[in-house]
């Protein structure tokens, strides 16, 4: 792919609020991709479902948001920013479809979170990820997040995972 073709692909991506059915897509794609790519069991899909359900039940327009990335009429990514406290927002469920990776969609979705967090009055954004999610970690690092803690855990049918907490001071 040439530089111009890649730029055209990036320009064709629309970032928008969720529409009917989109939140179900988030849970479905999180479950499918983490199973295929990381060997996670349905406990992870359950976690994604709880995060989405909490967003629907407790989300407030002034403190919580979800963004969907769409290209050529198909959803290719999503992310949430939810209230953790009055001063802390939490980035959740960042996902970019394999067919759309490398187009800067993850960075664009994280930038939406950061911009909104500033407008919402948050002073910090936190997130949790896994050490072996290198592409996501690059996106977070590029956006200014810093690794604060890591911990070995057994979850989602896997042993020896390394959970990381990252933080961005706004």
Assign domain 3-169 one CATH number from 3.40.50.300, 3.40.630.30, 3.40.47.10, 3.40.50.150. 3.40.630.30
* Start-end of H helices in the chain: 3-11, 22-38, 42-58, 105-120, 134-142
The pLDDT of residue 6: 47
The pLDDT of residue 11: 66
Q: Where are the domains of the chain?
A: 3-169
Residue 129 tokens read as 């990820």
pLDDT at residue 87 tops 90: yes
List of residues 6+ apart from 24 with CB closer than 8 A: none
Would you say 167 and 148 are in contact if contact means Cβ atoms under 8 Å apart? yes
The pLDDT of residue 12: 84
pLDDT at residue 120 tops 80: yes
Which band of pLDDT confidence, cut at 50, 70 and 90, is reported for residue 10? low
Would you say 92 and 23 are in contact if contact means Cβ atoms under 8 Å apart? no
Query: 3-state DSSP call for residue 42?
Result: helix
Residue 95 CA to residue 80 CA, distance in Å, equals 10
Longest dimension (CA), the chain: 45
pLDDT digits (tens, 9 = 90+) for 25-82: 999 999 999 999 999 999 999 999 999 999 999 999 999 999 999 999 999 999 999 9
pLDDT at residue 3 tops 80: no
Which band of pLDDT confidence, cut at 50, 70 and 90, is reported for residue 4? very low
**Nearest in space to 89 (alpha carbons), one of 137, 122, 54:** 122
Would you say 30 and 45 are in contact if contact means Cβ atoms under 8 Å apart? yes
């Amino acid at each position: 792919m040439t530089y111009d073709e890649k730029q055209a692909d990036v320009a064709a991506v629309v970032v928008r609020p969720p529409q009917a059915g989109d939140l179900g897509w988030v849970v479905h794609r999180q479950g499918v991709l983490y199973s295929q790519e990381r060997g996670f069991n349905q406990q992870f899909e359950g976690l994604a479902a709880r995060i989405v359900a909490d967003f629907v039940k407790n989300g407030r327009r002034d403190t919580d948001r979800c963004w969907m990335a769409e290209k050529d009429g198909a959803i290719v990514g999503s992310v949430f920013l939810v209230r953790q406290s009055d001063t802390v927002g939490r980035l959740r469920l960042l996902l970019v479809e394999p067919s759309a990776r490398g187009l800067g969609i993850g960075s664009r979705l994280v930038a939406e979170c950061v911009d909104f967090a500033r407008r919402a009055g948050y002073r910090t954004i936190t997130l949790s990820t896994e050490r072996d999610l290198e592409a996501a970690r690059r996106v977070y690092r590029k956006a200014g997040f810093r690794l604060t803690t890591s911990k070995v855990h057994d979850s989602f049918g896997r042993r020896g995972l390394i959970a990381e907490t990252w933080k961005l001071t706004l």
